[in-house]
Structure 1
Amino acid sequence: MEIKIQPMGVYQTNCYIVTVDGKDLIIDPGVDATKWVLANVSNPVAILNTHGHFDHVWSNAEVKEKLHIPIYCPKDDTFMLTDDPLNQGTPKSIPDYEVVGDEALEVAGIKIQYRHFPGHTPGCSVIEIGDVWFSGDFLFQQSIGRWDFPASSGEDMVKSLEKALTIEGDYTIYPGHGMSTTLKAEQRVIPYWIEQVKRTL
């Protein structure tokens, strides 16, 4: 697996190109991501969204149009791709496949596991490929995603963090913002974050 990373836009949202067996998966093409994506793919097969916030899906439609590849998005967040709930002027995009919960997929022969961790958004998910997690805005290095946005839920965030604590094995985590980390490292600080979220409920 080869992973290319480029922070995009004001919020420096990480766009990833993941190459497996010569096939390119584009994860979270954010603001102005198209030019970089086009320059760094040779055999693109799909666009994968971790969740529906504008800074992760901004270039969905443009990349899809240029490369003629499908968009996969968690079902509970697909409304964000068309409704622009944060009023950012996000270009509308239509997902070709709505991922439901902890769904296992095979895209162009590549095995992909979505892990549903709602809280930041209703559909917020980790995209698992092999021993790597693309965690979107669920887990960051020593931190977690916000739970105070419209459609966010502190109650769901607590449940998701508790779920993350039960997962065995270790994964390298590539988050939606900032530097990479590991699941084991984050499991050590998740109890702290559970208490912080609970205080706001």
Structure 2
Amino acid sequence: MQIKSRACGAYGTNCYIVTIDDKELIIDPGMEAASWVLRNVHHPIAILNTHGHFDHVWSNAELSAQLNIPIYAPIDDCFMLEDDPFGQGTPPSYANVKVVGDQSFDIEGICVKFFHFPGHTPGCSAILIDNTLFSGDFIFKNSIGRYDFPYSSGDQMRKSLEKFLKIDADWKIFPGHGESTTLKVEQQNVPYWFNFL
């Protein structure tokens, strides 16, 4: 598996291109991501959204149309793709596949698993591909996602972090902002955040 990444837009949102067997999955194409993605894909097969915030989905519509590929997004965040609830002028996009809870998919022979970790948003999820977790805005290096936005929930974040602690694996983590980390390292950091929830 090959991973390309670029911090895009004013919020430095990480857009990822994951290549397996010459097929590409595009994760969280946010603001100013489209031109970079178009220069770096040859056989794209899907767009995957970890959650619905505008800085992660801004280029969904443009890329889906130009590349003729489906969008996978958590069902509980699809209203953010469609309705621009934060008034940012986000181009509307529509998920072809609405992901419900923890759900796995075979996308042209590539196994993709969504883990539902609500709190940052109602549908906030992390996406597992080949022992690598693309954690969106749920988990960062030495930090967690904010839960003080509209549609966020500190109670749900606590439950999601408890669920995260129960995962027994040694995965790399590539977050929606900032540097990569590992699951085991962040499991050690998580208890600190319970003091604020």
TM-score higher than 0.5 here?
yes
Ranges in structure 1 where 5+ consecutive residues have no aligned partner: none
What residue number does 1:29 align with? Answer: 29
Shift of 1:83: 1.3
Normalising by structure 1, we get a TM-score of 0.97
Question: Residue in 2 aligned with 1:58?
Answer: 58
SS in 1 for 2:133: strand
In the alignment, the residues of structure 2 paired with residue 20 and residue 154 of structure 1 have an alpha-carbon distance, to the nearest angstrom, of 36
Alpha-carbon distance between aligned partners in 2 of 1:161 and 1:69, rounded to the nearest angstrom: 32
Q: How far is 1:86 from its partner? A: 1.3
1:164, 1:170 → 2: CA distance?
12
When the two chains are superposed, the root-mean-square deviation of aligned CA atoms in Å is 0.5
Which amino acid in 2 is paired with 1:62?
Answer: E
Give the CA deviation at 1:195.
1.8
How far apart, CA to CA, are the structure 2 residues paired with 1:131 and 1:196? 30
Q: Confirm whether residue 184 of structure 1 aligns to residue 184 of structure 2.
A: yes
Identity %: 61
Point out where structure 2 has 5 or more consecutive residues left out of the alignment: none
Secondary structure of the corresponding residue to residue 5 of structure 1: strand
SS at match of 1:93: coil
Q: Following TM superposition, by how much is the alpha carbon of 1:66 offset from its aligned partner in structure 2, in angstroms? A: 0.7
Relative to structure 2, which stretch is displaced further, 104-113 or 134-143?
Answer: 104-113
- Which residue identity lines up with residue 109 of structure 2 in the other structure? G
Which residue matches 1:124? 124
CA distance in 1, matches of 2:111, 2:169: 18
**In structure 1, the residue corresponding to 2:89 is in which secondary structure?**
coil
Runs ≥4 residues deviating over 4 A: none
| Cα deviation digits, residues 6-51 of structure 1 (max 9, x gap) | 0000000000000011100000000011100000001000000000
Aligned residues between the structures: 197
Structure 1 Cα separation of the partners of residues 8 and 34 of structure 2: 10
> What is the TM-score of this pair, normalised by structure 2?
0.99
